């Protein structure tokens, strides 16, 4: 709150001329009273105009006013010996040459006293202004802190995530409604409860904090509600130190449903990939069976062969291969129609791929002009294909001096084409690329073979495009709305 004195001082600073005029009138009034009262010294009254105007004057102006007040005080001082100063005597009194002995000393003392009073008042006013400004800043900081605390309190109380803090003994200090509901406390308070029966990982981390610095991490662990129900807890936590010792602030999310969805999605993706692999291998087995069947038919024309055990065994082998191929093709003949958001798949691929590539010193660029259409394909299967192509490029560039991977997505001739271009040594024998069990390849040598089989199961394709330097693999996908236009 602004006091009246602060208001007066602010007015004096902004209306210097008016304040100085009032001070001059006050000085004239004191001089007139001092003149008509020659037997009494009223010079002390000159202090009041100085006090009034000190807030509006500079140092030199205060000194000048002090000199004027001191001069007038000495002019009308009874020690001058005159009982009445009128007419010519009045004008002689203004002449310092007519003053009695000791007047100059008294004048110096009076001017110094008035000046010190003015300077003191000016400094006091200045200090008061600074203090007032400081108090305003403190009040503003307090107001902002209170607003920030209110916002944080609202954020914590309305958060769908469980938020709680623990003291050095592992007991709950602060919590929100979500934390109480997560741990199954219904309407009962959670403060003071030991966290060990519900989230034992927090207590263990708190104990480990006694010997080290602050910890900021996230963990997945088993949690348990008050009624004994177990859930999967995803915890973001940080440790801190207070006057009572170390503590923990934790944000907890029940990720049980996410785990169920993730596992279900993983099983579906595995089954879809298995069907693709079975179908692809069944095609290869059928080709072998066809070749064996041709040889078996040719041997039938040779006299005496049909009755041999070897001929009968070959026939059994051909029949077995045909049955295996037929059953595998039947299992893979109904992959189901799936539609994927290609932009979302590429975003997830970027999250999975980029950290590993950058750790290997590979520069990655992503080019996708404009929004991409929905495509025919399974989200997880396409992500698997993209990650496999990126890892192939990473391995190919291990010994390259220039390491760059460029991923682009464009629409070409009613197809969506995603290309992976790298600056590796290139492919020496492109005709051998998509054959299974390639010698010298990474792991089983099935990566490209399965990737192409996955894409073909949804009507797409994977091909190698020759480049002057490096290698390029192109993934071709059909837009979801163009299914009826496929040949």
Token digits for 113?
């006293």
- The answer, yes or no, to whether residue 296 has pLDDT greater than 70, is no
Q: Are 191 and 227 in contact (CB under 8 A)?
A: no
List, in sequence order, every residue forming a beta bridge with 172; answer none if it has no partner: 166
pLDDT, position 483: 47
Strand order in the sheet with 471-477: 363-367, 404-412, 415-422, 471-477, 461-465
What's residue 140's pLDDT? 93
> By C-alpha distance, which of 411, 419, 425 is closest to 365?
419
Tokens of 112: 């110094």
Q: Count CB neighbours of 382 within 10 A.
A: 29
Say if CB 463 and CB 473 are below 8 A apart. Answer: yes
Per-residue model confidence as pLDDT tens digits over 216-264: 888 888 889 888 888 888 999 998 888 878 889 999 998 887 666 665 5
How do strand 363-367 and strand 404-412 relate by DSSP bridges?
A: parallel
Measured CA to CA in angstroms, residue 144 lies from 77, 136, 140, 141, 150 at distances of: 59, 12, 6, 5, 10
DSSP string, 228-274: S-EEEEEEEEEEEEETTEEEEEEEEEE-HHHHHHHHHHHHHHHHHHH
Percent of the chain with pLDDT over 70: 71
Q: What is the pLDDT of residues 116-149, one digit of tens each?
A: 888 888 887 788 778 888 888 999 999 999 999 8
pLDDT of res. 280: 59
Cβ proximity of 398 and 425 under 8 Å:
no
Mean local confidence (pLDDT), 429-455: 67
Share the mean pLDDT of the chain. Answer: 78
CB neighbour list of residue 52: distance below 8 Å, 6 or more residues apart: 12, 19, 22, 23, 26
Does the structure show a pLDDT above 90 at 475?
yes
User: pLDDT value at position 373?
Assistant: 87
Task: Report d(CA 247, CA 238) in Å as an integer.
Answer: 9
The half-sphere exposure of 173 on its side-chain side, counting CA atoms within 13 A, is 13
Confidence of residue 50 (pLDDT cuts 50, 70, 90): confident
Q: How confident is the model at residue 87 (pLDDT cuts 50, 70, 90)?
A: low
Per-residue pLDDT tens over the stretch 391-441: 889 988 888 888 999 999 998 888 999 999 999 888 877 777 777 655 544
Q: Phi/psi class of residue 81: alpha, beta or left (left: φ > 0; alpha: ψ in -120 to 50)?
A: left
DSSP string, 461-473: EEEEE--SSSEEE
**Mean pLDDT in residue range 163-174:** 90
- Tell me what pLDDT residue 35 has: 74
pLDDT band at 329 (very low <50, low <70, confident <90, very high): very low
Question: Quick one: average pLDDT of 50-55?
Answer: 76
Q: Which of 379, 388, 401 is nearest to 450 (CA)?
A: 388
DSSP 56: G
Q: What's the pLDDT at 487?
A: 40
pLDDT at 261: 63
Whole-model pTM: value is 0.49
For 337-395, the pLDDT digits (tens) are 678 899 888 888 888 888 888 888 999 999 887 788 899 888 888 888 998 899 889 98
Pairing verdict, β 172-175 and 339-341: unpaired
Percent over 90 (pLDDT), the chain = 13
């Amino acid at each position: 709150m602004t006091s009246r004195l602060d208001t007066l001082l602010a007015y004096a600073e902004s209306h210097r001329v008016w304040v100085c005029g009032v001070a001059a009138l006050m000085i004239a009034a004191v001089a007139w009273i001092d003149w008509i009262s020659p037997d009494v010294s009223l010079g002390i009254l000159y202090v009041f105009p100085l006090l009034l105007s000190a807030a509006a004057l500079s140092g030199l102006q205060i000194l000048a006013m002090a000199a004027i007040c001191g001069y007038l005080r000495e002019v009308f001082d009874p020690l001058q010996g005159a009982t009445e100063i009128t007419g010519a005597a009045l004008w002689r009194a203004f002449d310092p040459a007519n003053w009695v002995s000791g007047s100059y000393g008294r004048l110096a003392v009076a001017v110094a006293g008035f000046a010190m009073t003015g300077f003191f008042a000016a400094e006091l006013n200045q200090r008061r202004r600074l203090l007032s400004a400081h108090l305003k800043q403190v009040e503003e900081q307090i107001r902002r802190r209170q607003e920030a605390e209110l916002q944080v309190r609202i954020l914590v109380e309305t958060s769908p995530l469980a938020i709680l803090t623990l003291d050095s003994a592992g007991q709950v200090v602060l919590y929100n409604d979500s934390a109480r509901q997560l741990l199954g406390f219904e309407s009962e308070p959670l403060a003071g409860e030991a966290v060990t029966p519900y989230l034992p990982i927090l207590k263990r981390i708190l104990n480990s904090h006694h010997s080290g610095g602050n910890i900021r991490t996230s963990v997945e662990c088993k949690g348990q509600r008050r009624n004994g129900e177990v859930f999967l807890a995803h915890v973001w936590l940080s440790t801190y130190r207070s006057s009572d010792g170390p503590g923990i602030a934790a944000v907890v999310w029940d990720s049980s449903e996410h785990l169920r969805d993730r596992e279900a999605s993983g099983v579906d993706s595995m089954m879809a990939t298995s069907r693709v692999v079975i179908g692809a291998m069944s095609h290869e087995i059928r080709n072998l069976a066809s070749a064996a069947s041709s040889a078996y038919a040719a041997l039938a024309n040779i006299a005496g062969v049909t009755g041999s055990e070897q001929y009968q065994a070959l026939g059994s082998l051909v029949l077995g291969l045909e049955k295996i191929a037929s059953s595998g093709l039947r299992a893979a003949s109904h992959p189901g129609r799936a539609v994927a958001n290609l932009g979302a798949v590429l975003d997830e691929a970027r999250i999975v791929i980029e950290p590993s590539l950058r750790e290997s010193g590979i520069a990655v660029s992503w080019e996708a002009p404009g929004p991409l259409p929905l495509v025919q394909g399974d989200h997880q299967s396409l992500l698997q294909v993209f990650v496999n192509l990126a890892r192939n490029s990473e391995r190919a560039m291990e010994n390259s001096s220039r390491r760059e991977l460029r991923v682009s997505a464009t629409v070409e001739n009613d197809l969506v084409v995603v290309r992976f271009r790298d600056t590796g040594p290139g492919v020496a024998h492109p005709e051998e690329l998509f054959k299974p069990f390639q010698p010298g390849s990474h792991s089983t040598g099935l990566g490209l073979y399965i990737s192409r089989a996955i894409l073909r199961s949804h009507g797409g394709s994977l091909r190698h495009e020759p480049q002057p330097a490096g290698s390029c693999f192109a993934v071709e996908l059909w837009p979801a709305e163009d299914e009826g236009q496929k040949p």
